[in-house]
Amino acid sequence: MASFLISLAVLIIGYFTYGKIVDRIFDSQPERETPAISMEDGVDYMAMDWKKAFLIQFLNIAGLGPIFGAIAGALWGPSAFLWIVFGTIFAGGVHDYLSGMLSIRSGGASISEVIGENLGGTIRQIMRVFSIVLLVLVGTVFMTGPAMLLANLTPGFMGVNIWLVIILGYYFIATFLPVDKIIGKLYPIFGLALLIMALGVGGGLIFGDYNIPNIALNNLHPGELPMWPLLFVTIACGAISGFHSTQSPIMARCTTNEKEGRKIFYGAMVAEGIVALIWAAAAMTFFQGTGGLNEALATLGGPAGVVHEITGTMMGVVGGVLAMLGVIAAPITSGDTAFRSVRLTLSDIFGLEQKSIKNRLLLAIPIFIVGGALSQINFDALWRYFAWSNQTVAMVVLWAGAMWLAKRGKNHWIASIPAFFMTGVSSTYILYAPEGFQLPYSFSVTAGIIIAVVTMGIYIKKISSTHFEEEIMIKEAV
């Protein structure tokens, strides 16, 4: 119990301390006009209260990630607490804050454009393709998953394809309409429900008859899978996730004051870390260890069944309703903003303003034709690549943020150190994983570390040998 309570306290303290340090290093400026004001278009760019923006950002980046990922990560035991806490504070919070604030400074630009501005045109082109594929994949899978769950609730009445059409129709409307019409009205409610569900489970753990295990560094995974790098990829949304950076520009276009960036972007990541911490603790405690959790995942139908069992026991009818809301509504809300992000990314690439209904239709219709076609494909194998691609995006965004800071003579280590760490994670994973090169574990670990060290060396050489002052002065004057 003590480790859980201390971890919870450290996350909260981290927001008020390290979050302020990151904000001070970035130098957010309250007097600086944001895109929500200077570029207001009534569709994607519009002023929004920070509390509403925080809840929308939280739901956009969370969905089921900090629940399902934390449950799967709990199989390694309470050592997962350390990754959630330190990953959130020093990696995920920095990643989300920088992706949101750099988007604000770049006129609400999509993350591929932000990366290109800092790492060059070649990386820009790669990340344009990479991010669009990632977002379409997220949107499609978060469409088919809920459709299958809903079809199970309406057997013989409404099948999977009917629900797919309904969800696809909702996606189109949510992607096409101005951000305040559906996202601005419904998402704060869903975000609050997700927080209430987590706090209810957390309260049940603390005040109920449960013995939350304390932190131990030994690997307790029933399948004896290695902790490095698998734990750091399995728990993504609860520690650091590249998907977040694709969502940050949505609220970057609605933030009215740069000083609100820490609350919206860093704050939402800390809130997600708290949710992940609670669910990791609940999963390994409720089923009395990692062995029991592993059995529950097999017999209850995966993480969704585990969520339903825990919430139903701890929170009764209310818990069951919230669990159903989370398992079905949360992925849908992540899916529609994924498609919205595709539209925004394409609009940046082709220079199409989105105030025009014609231009929005021009981008939205092809996106959903592709999404509808892909929903008929079995994604089991392809989806496994999401884990790696997700953390690879996070790695690149951190390097871009580090370069932005270095160019301005600011403390780049807040981004370059976690970027170095995530380079090791992503490199080792793709070399070792079944969906990767399937190389021997020891070789993969060594090679991953070497790749991270070489990348850091190239970065240090770049920032040491280049004079950025003139470039920055010209750009910021323009």
The pLDDT value given to residue 64: 74
| Closest CA relative to residue 418, chosen from 237, 240, 246 | 240
pLDDT at site 144: 75
> Are residues 231 and 73 in contact, defined by beta-carbon separation less than 8 angstroms?
yes
At 75, list the tokens. 């199989």
**pLDDT number for residue 384:** 65
Domains and CATH numbers, the chain: 1-10+32-378 (1.20.1740.10)
Per this entry, what is the length of the chain?
Answer: 478
Q: Is 440 left (phi over 0), alpha (psi -120 to 50) or beta?
A: beta
Q: CA angle, corner 58, sides to 33 and 35, nearest 5?
A: 15
Nearest to 6 by CA among 279, 14, 238, 217: 14
How many other C-beta atoms are found inside a 10 Å radius of the C-beta of residue 9? 11
The reported pLDDT for the residue numbered 37 is 96
Calpha distance 172→139 (Å, rounded): 11
CA distance linking residue 262 with residue 416, whole number of Å = 19
In order, the DSSP letters of 150-167 are HHHHSTTTS-HHHHHHHH
| Residue numbers in the chain where pLDDT is lower than 50 | 478
Token pair 């996606």 is found at: 171
**Positive or negative torsion for Cα 285, 288, 293, 299:** negative
Rounded Cα–Cα distance for residues 49 and 211 (Å) = 40
